[in-house]
Amino acid sequence: MTRIIEAIATGVGSTIGFLADHGILFALFALLWIAFGFGLVASQGSIDAAWQWLRQLPMLAQAVIWLLFLPVAAGLWVWETAWPFIVRLTLVGGLAAWTLLVLLPRSATNAQP
């Protein structure tokens, strides 16, 4: 059983490392944050609908989505709170900026002029 778990964990870790090194995770989360921002500007109801959809999923599916897309799911949660608009906007913007900064590929962060 230990070998199976170790093989799965190594495979998942290697896959995530590959996606991060090649900028695929950065692109995915950039698209998600762009869609989030577009939803805020064009149709706030779409953000509400996304939150309701997430909340209506079975608990296991919710846990998987929260785990895989934590910054965006946290952004949805923050946006759906009753906090003042400026606080929600600042927190969601900070989450987006932090996510994209952390997921920048190494080649972009180590660029020599």
Nearest to 40 by CA among 91, 87, 76: 76
Domain ranges for the chain, please list them. 2-107
Spatial contact of 111 and 37, defined as CB atoms under 8 Å apart:
no
- Mean pLDDT score of the chain: 90
> What confidence tens digit (pLDDT) does each residue in 7-56 have?
887 887 788 888 888 889 999 999 999 999 999 999 989 999 999 999 99
Q: What is the pTM of this model?
A: 0.83
The helix or strand, by DSSP H or E, that contains position 84, with its residue range, turns out to be none
Spatial contact of 95 and 71, defined as CB atoms under 8 Å apart:
yes
Residue 3: pLDDT above 90? no
Portion of the chain with pLDDT greater than 90, in percent: 69
Q: What is the pLDDT of residue 48?
A: 93
Nearest to 71 by CA among 39, 93, 41, 40: 93
